[in-house]
Amino acid sequence: MAELKHIPVMLKECVNALNVKSGGVYFDGTLGGGGHTREILLNSAPNGKVIATDLDDYAINRAKENLKEFGDRLTVVKSNFKDFTDIKSKLDIDGFDGILLDLGVSSFQLDDRSRGFSYLADNEKLDMRMDGNSLVSAETIVNGYKESDLKRIIAEYGEERFAANIARNIVEERKTRPITTVGQLNAIIEKSIPAKFKHDGHPSKRTFQAIRIEVNGELDGLYDTVIAMTRGLKKGGRIAILTFHSLEDRIVKQAFRELETDCICDKSLPVCVCGKKREAVIITRHPITAGEEEQTINPRAKSAKLRVAERV
Ligand SMILES: C[S@@+](CC[C@H](N)C(=O)[O-])C[C@H]1O[C@@H](n2cnc3c(N)ncnc32)[C@H](O)[C@@H]1O
């Protein structure tokens, strides 16, 4: 297999947004190819530290190897970033100077056809797990979920208008034989979308995205995690989150708004009784997007949105 590469999205923008400084302590929840982590380590030299998590063994092993020059300035933990609070307390860290999440899948995961993330690999098994130890794969979902749940996921996470047809045809097909390969699912999707609507990219793109989000529980608990992470920053520390899907972006936006909201008491009350205090200010009223040049070089950057908040 050719060497797999991942080009980090909005690298400079992320590091600038985090105000990375010498000696700072940072958390990168989505290590991936280590591109952002490397840049944070370089910008926090000589003694800045990064704690980085990923669910994916390949990413973890490769990044450890590629970043070994940083020695104990980098701590890699194979974990879900949603376990942030536990990780922070186990490592006895009072507060972070910056936290980064670069959500979704890496190019490694998409380009390693054997992992079943890509609709371009007909013969591969339906898998799509970031964490190879997880018990739920795309095959489990496609063969086990009720038609109504398949329809909901494909419609919501994939924004696929023909979700009902696809869900119905999946359930029909699996009565005859289990759906185990990418090619089988592609064929079902292909026949579920009327010809005149097949102009908007590959017909499987939206359904594969939806199933991947479900397999990896990508949206589950994200709101609470963003709140917990922001609370885990030092005063003046920043959290920067790159999203690639409108639902993810909405969750981040809503969590930041909640953190920014001060007292919510009725204005007529002489004193605050709700006790709610502003915990962060939003730095990006509108998300930052990648420049034209980056979008040309790296098509993944096209849908990226970067939102940043600062702990107060
Ligand atoms: C877009 S890539 C990150 C790329 C990285 N920033 C770089 O510069 O190479 C996302 C990575 O986050 C990991 N990931 C996604 N959700 C995760 C989660 N909940 N916990 C830990 N890692 C996660 C994926 O396995 C993938 O390796």
How does pLDDT run across 156-210, given as a tens digit for each residue?
A: 999 999 999 999 999 999 999 999 999 999 999 999 999 888 777 899 999 999 9
Q: For residue 175, what are the contacts with CB-CB under 8 A and spacing of at least 6?
A: none
Q: What is the pLDDT of residue 3?
A: 67
Q: What is the pLDDT of residue 197?
A: 83
Task: Please state, in angstroms and rounded to a whole number, the distance separating the CA atoms of residues 21 and 14.
Answer: 13
Is residue 281 a contact partner of residue 309, using CB atoms and an 8 Å limit?
Answer: yes
Specify the residue with its C-alpha closest to ligand 1, atom 24. 105
Q: Which residues of the chain have pLDDT under 70?
A: 1-3
Helix (H) or strand (E) holding 140: helix 138-144
Closest C-alpha among 135, 137, 148, 160 to residue 210:
160
Q: Looking at ligand 1, which atom is closest to the CA of residue 30?
A: 12
Q: Give burial (CB, 10 Å; 0-12/13-18/19+) of 112.
A: middle
Is residue 243 a contact partner of residue 249, using CB atoms and an 8 Å limit?
Answer: yes
**Å from CA of 64 to ligand 1 middle:** 14
Which domains, and CATH codes, for the chain? 11-104+220-311 (3.40.50.150), 117-215 (1.10.150.170)
> Is omega for the bond preceding 46 within 30 degrees of 0, making it cis?
yes
Best of 4, 55, 80, 101 to mutate for ligand 1, by most ligand atoms within 8 A of CB?
A: 55
Task: Please state, in angstroms and rounded to a whole number, the distance separating the CA atoms of residues 193 and 259.
Answer: 42
Specify the residue with its C-alpha closest to ligand 1, atom 12. 30
Handedness of CA 62, 66, 67, 68 (dihedral sign): positive
Ligand 1: residues with CB < 6 A are 6, 8, 29-30, 32-36, 53-56, 59, 80-82, 102, 104-106, 130
**Å from CA of 146 to ligand 1 middle:** 29
Q: What is the pLDDT of residue 1?
A: 55
**Å from CA of 175 to ligand 1 middle:** 36
**Å from CA of 305 to ligand 1 middle:** 15
Q: What is the pLDDT of residue 201?
A: 81
pLDDT tens digits, 117-129: 999 999 999 999 9
